[in-house]
Structure 1
Amino acid sequence: MSLSRLSVELIPRSTEALLDDVASVKALFPAADTLNVPDLMRFPLRSWDAAALIHPHFARVVPHIRAIDIAPDAPLPGADQPGLEEVLVVHGDPPADLSHRTYPNSTESIIRRYKKEAPHLRIYAAFDPYRRAPWQELEDVARKKEAGAEGFFTQPVFDLKLFDLCREWLRDETVFWGLSPVIGPRSRSYWETTNHVVFPKDFEPTLEANIQFAQTVLRHLSQEKGRAYLMPLRVKLDQYLPPLLEALA
């Protein structure tokens, strides 16, 4: 058995850096059939523009779209973009730059706009098991599905017990399960403070332990032809990605 889809998340720091990373993924990790690109305010390159740059080199690209950035009368990012087939709609964190205007959109309202104005696009939404009580997050899943979401990208998971629970909760959904290495105390503190992650007692913030955990999750998902995406933050691609191929053999 194998995964049905496997994505790598790449940060669009600049055109040159992005294309270098695309080339690295193709060379180091041929199992990836998809790239997903977050939309980060601290970089000038928007996710959908990054997707356009990537498409000549990688057929499947999923840009993240921040709902709170879309003006009611503005065109939807990527709606008419050649070759684009999928987008991930997230709510979006408030910008650090207070001069950046945002709008009181919900994720669901932007998903509905995409379904109406760009029905050819497959729309994904986010699932976060750490943000609040599970019943609240699952109510959100139902609302996003009702609005037109056809699948979900999860926040990275770091605990096999929680992973199993979430698989049960989302059993009938199309899900890209997130995996991201957490290396060192600063990285761990970031996830705990910013994303409210509760790590298991035996969690080790080392590269070796994170690779082993990701291999275990990928093996589980391979048995059921599942989907995953890798978020290789603060690690070199050549150190993190190649060992994961062992789990996909």
Structure 2
Amino acid sequence: MNISVELVPRTEKDLREELQLIKNNDFPISLINVPELLRFDIHGWEGAAIAQEYEFETMPHIRALDIDLLNELPMKKYLRERKIKKVLVITGDPPQSMATKVYPTISTDIISKFRQEMPEVKVYAGIDQYRSSMRQEMYQVRRKLQAGATGFFTQPFFDMRYIEMYAEMLEGLDVYWGISPVLSENSVSYWKIKNNIIFPKDFEPTLDWNINFARKVGEFVERTGGNMYIMPIKADLAKYMGSVFI
């Protein structure tokens, strides 16, 4: 089982501190994911290059909306110079300000573009199990595979029954199963409204509940085959991961 953790590149200093924390605590992390977020100055691929300095395998997120299909991939030279061999392609959320240039590009377009321009790079794609029906999401999975996706990263799960259903549908694929601690009522509301999350009846926005659930997911993934994708967001990284990986 490979375990990936997402580190948000708020500043270079913050990112380096989190990378050093993971290194110092010897957490069993084999891959660092770095998202591409418009509100921060550091690109995902720049954050990924920083993570390489700490001897981690890295995977920057690539937003399809940011890429003009008429031009070459803008990060191509950078990825090759830093020998970054994996990327996660997502569609991306539209910017709040229309002053930011975006394009009507979808993730399958960019997966195909990587296959054409950078065939040496393994391209992973996202699964948003809350976006639509399972039938529609599985159709998107097939389209992404056809475009050249190597594997998938899911949105966070909060219910083992839902994971088990998707695990049956995705059997045989390289999947990183997402988890993310939700630790306040405000966060619960955000996930419900923004991402259409349905929490199970026993859910509690506490560190203990989230740690116990993360352990259950780890046991399931280790038993059935697959990988884990941890999005700690605002959680205390040392406390959360230290409790999950005891």
TM-score bin, normalised by smaller chain: over 0.9
Shift of 1:40: 0.5
Instruction: Map 1:15-30 to 2 at 5 A.
Output: 15-30=12-27
Task: Note if contact 2:27-2:241 (Cα within 8 Å) is conserved in structure 1.
Answer: no
**2:64 aligned partner:** 67
Tell me which residue corresponds to 1:44. 41
Higher mean C-alpha displacement, 143-152 vs 45-54: 45-54
Shift of 1:222: 1.4
Change (3 A) 1:228 1:81: farther
The count of residues paired between Structure 1 and Structure 2 equals 243
1:8 aligns with 5
Q: Could you list the per-position Cα deviations for residues 37-73 of structure 1 after superposition, in whole angstroms to 9, with x for gaps in the alignment?
A: 1101110100001111111113310100000101231
Query: Please, which of 32, 52, 55 is the counterpart of residue 35 of structure 1?
Result: 32
Q: Which amino acid aligns with 1:8?
A: V
Letter in 1 for 2:28: A
User: What's 2:50 paired with?
Assistant: 53
Where relative contact order (Cα < 8 A, 6+ residues apart) is larger, the structure is: 1
**RMSD of equivalent CA atoms:** 1.2
Equivalent AA in structure 2 for residue 229 of structure 1 = Y
Amino acid aligned to 1:219: E
Secondary structure of the equivalent of 1:8?
strand
With 71-80 and 61-70 compared, the bigger mean Cα shift is at: 71-80
Query: 2:113 aligned with 1:113, yes or no?
Result: yes
Structure 1, gaps ≥5 residues long: none
Q: Please give the residue correspondences for 1:135-154 in structure 2 after superposition, counting only pairs within 5 Å.
A: 135-154=135-154
DSSP-derived class of the 1:83 partner: coil
Q: How far did residue 147 of structure 1 move?
A: 0.3
Counterpart residue identity of residue 134, structure 2: P
- What is the rounded CA distance, in whole Å, between the counterparts of 1:181 and 1:141 in structure 2? 26
Q: Which residue of 2 aligns with 1:161?
A: 161
Report 1:233-244 matches (<5 A): 233-244=233-244
Letter in 2 for 1:192: K
Verify the 8 A CA contact 2:27 2:242 in the aligned structure 1: no
- Identity, in percent, stands at 37
Deviation of 1:81 after TM superposition, in Å, equals 3.5
Which 10-residue stretch deviates more, 135-144 or 48-57?
48-57
CA distance in 2, matches of 1:196, 1:108: 23
Deviations 1:203-232 (A, max 9, x none): 111000000000011011112342011111
TM-score, with normalisation over the residues of structure 1?
A: 0.94
Deviation at 1:29, TM superposition (A): 4.5
Provide TM-score, normalisation by structure 2: 0.96
CA separation in 1, counterparts of 2:171 and 2:81? Answer: 32
Question: Cα distance, 1:239 vs. partner?
Answer: 1.2
Runs of at least 4 residues off by over 6 Å = none
Separation in 2, partners of 1:177, 1:27: 25
Deviation of 1:172 (Å): 1.6
Residues 1:76 and 1:210: Cα distance change in structure 2 (over 3 Å): same
